């Protein structure tokens, strides 16, 4: 049996489809996540004494002291907790309210 050997051709439709899929992933998944991460990192770096924060564990408190990698917060009853800056998830200006949650679900949040 003789097989005809042909040179494989590039399928531009396939390449265009993969390119479009990459663009969709980038603009709907990667880029928004990077923007969110940068905003959170900026918020953590700008913490100052007196800010009200929430940790990733759900602890609410007021910043008592800020160091390079740690933050001391004061919680209910005057108890002070020393936590890593990376454990801070929200400050008082980014608290999720019903109004901002409904705007975010409708795609109107900034």
Alpha-carbon distance of 4 to 26, in angstroms, equals 41
Task: Calculate Rg over the CA atoms of the chain.
Answer: 24
In a domain, 16, yes or no: yes
Chain mean pLDDT for the chain: 84
Residue range of the domain that includes 87: 12-95
> Closest Cα partner for 82 from 110, 59, 105?
59
Question: Residue 107 falls within a domain, yes or no?
Answer: no
pLDDT, mean of residues 93-101: 57
The mean per-residue pLDDT over the stretch 10-28 comes to 92
Flag whether the pTM goes above 0.85.
no
pLDDT exceeds cutoff 80 at 64? yes
pLDDT value at 12 more than 50: yes
pLDDT on residue 105: 53
Encoded tokens for 65: 């002291």
The total domain count for the chain is 1
| Residue 5 domain-assigned (yes or no) | no
Helices H / strands E in the chain, number of each: 3, 5
Q: Please tell me the distance from the alpha carbon of residue 91 to that of residue 70, in angstroms, as a whole number.
A: 15
């Amino acid at each position: 049996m003789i097989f005809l050997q042909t040179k494989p051709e590039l399928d531009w439709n396939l390449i265009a489809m993969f390119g479009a899929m990459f663009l969709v992933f980038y603009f709907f998944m990667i880029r928004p996540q990077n923007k969110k991460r940068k905003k959170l990192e900026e918020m953590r770096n700008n913490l100052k004494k007196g800010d009200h924060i929430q940790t990733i564990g759900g602890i609410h408190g007021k910043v008592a002291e800020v160091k390079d990698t740690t933050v001391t917060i004061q919680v209910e009853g005057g108890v002070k907790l020393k936590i890593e800056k990376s454990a801070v998830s929200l400050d008082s200006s980014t608290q999720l309210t019903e109004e901002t949650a409904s705007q975010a679900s409708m795609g109107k949040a900034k």
